[in-house]
Amino acid sequence: MSEKKQKLTEISELGEFGLIKHITKDIKINHKNTIKGVGDDAAVIDYGDVCSVVTTDLLVEGIHFNLIYTPLKHLGYKAVVVNLSDVYAMNAIPKQITVSIALSKKFAIEHVEQIYEGIKLACDKYNVDLVGGDTTSSLTGLAISITAIGEAKKENIAYRSTANKNDVVCVTGDLGAAYMGLQLLEREKEIFKTNPGINPSLEGYDYILQRQLKPEARKDVIEILKELNIKPTSMIDISDGLSSEIFHICDKSDVGCKIFQDKIPVDQNTEKMAEEFNIDPLTAALNGGEDYELLFTIDIKDLEKIKDHAMIHPIGHVTGKEHGAVMITNGGQSVALQAQGWNQMKKE
């Protein structure tokens, strides 16, 4: 890199989302079958009978995972699941994946086998074909790049940009557990580092650990929505935290949003762990990330249809843009949501 003594700008000044926006601001789309490019959970390509949705994620050791406490099999599984989650978030069905892996010399064949065991397990569970990829060396550490390809009819695809005023805002499952699982693993890692004699105490924390180490994608919810004949008016998956995803929907749909604190689903295991850590469980739910639940909006006429489905929670409604994205607290106050999200590139 020959620097011409130009002034350089640190990436942290923009953060991940800012950098992506900056880089992609002048991108041209030339093919009319490219229905959706950058800016949603996945790109959409029109093939006539059916549309293909394509999404990709690059996971890097030391940034997205720590091998001190991440079993390689779980890592392979999770790497697939996070991509499938993006396909489901388009209201599409994942069908194929490609997997590229870069490995440093510290990895042996047996390690690669464990990673692929997890990858194949996820492929079996979600009925996805592993169709290609790349295997290469790296100087340090492990990187996994997965591309997932799904299918949907054009009219069924759900975007971030199509929420309407008065739509009901829903989330699936519960939030914040993956974040609390990460806190627990980090704590036990530190204890182990200073006192290698003490065994990590992870018993009784199965739920939050599983949510962090071996998350699932919401295939079931996409199937239920289809059965109920509901097409979400907008949808996104929750990978960076509820707040951040609500901001994406509001930004792309040009709307505001009002959610209610007492409607945000938090599991009792998450609450218990948060108490132990003296963290507000609400913070974990809003800004924790890695939950891989779905956030979507539905027309108010469809509200009745979801009421018997315990894993789908209405948490608020879409408002006009002028109202911004707010949460009504249990005390009745209206507070602006912070789009902090999970952003390793941004300065603290």
Number of residues that bind its own copies (CB under 8 A): 86
The CA-atom distances, in angstroms, between 167 and each of 26, 246, 296, 314 are 32, 13, 10, 10
Are 118 and 128 in contact, with CB atoms under 8 Å apart? no
Are 78 and 284 in contact, with CB atoms under 8 Å apart? no
- Find the shortest distance in angstroms from Cβ 246 to its own copies: 21
Q: Give dist(CA 184, CA 180) in Å, integer.
A: 6
Q: Please, what is the Cα angle at 169 between 163 and 170, to 5 degrees?
A: 125
Q: Please, what is the Cα angle at 47 between 225 and 221, to 5 degrees?
A: 15
- Residue 149: closest CA among 101, 97, 100: 97
Q: Is 155 in the site for its own copies (CB under 8 A)?
A: no
- Find the shortest distance in angstroms from Cβ 314 to its own copies: 30
* Single residue of 5, 137, 155, 278 touching its own copies by CB under 8 A: 137
* Single residue of 67, 121, 300, 328 touching its own copies by CB under 8 A: 67
* Single residue of 85, 91, 145, 319 touching its own copies by CB under 8 A: 145
Task: Scan residues 69-128 and list those touching its own copies (CB under 8 A).
Answer: 71-72, 95-96, 98, 100-103, 105, 107-113, 116, 120, 127-128
- Find the shortest distance in angstroms from Cβ 78 to its own copies: 15
Task: Scan residues 24-53 and list those touching its own copies (CB under 8 A).
Answer: 24, 26-31, 33-34, 36-38, 42-43, 45, 47-50, 52
Q: Give dist(CA 17, CA 142) in Å, integer.
A: 24
**Binding-site string for its own copies from residue 7 to residue 26, where x marks contact by CB under 8 A and - marks none:** -xxxx-xx-x--xx-xxx-x
Nearer to its own copies, 120 or 165 (CB): 120
Nearer to its own copies, 19 or 202 (CB): 19
- Find the shortest distance in angstroms from Cβ 155 to its own copies: 16
- Find the shortest distance in angstroms from Cβ 87 to its own copies: 12
Q: Which residues pair with 171 in a beta bridge?
A: 295, 313
Are 102 and 239 in contact, with CB atoms under 8 Å apart? no
Task: Scan residues 285-344 and list those touching its own copies (CB under 8 A).
Answer: 344
Q: Give dist(CA 255, CA 250) in Å, integer.
A: 5
**Binding-site string for its own copies from residue 227 to residue 256, where x marks contact by CB under 8 A and - marks none:** ------------------------------
Collapsed DSSP state (helix, strand, coil) of residue 45? strand
Q: Residue 334 carries which DSSP code?
A: E
Q: Is 161 in the site for its own copies (CB under 8 A)?
A: no
- Find the shortest distance in angstroms from Cβ 293 to its own copies: 20
Are 327 and 241 in contact, with CB atoms under 8 Å apart? no
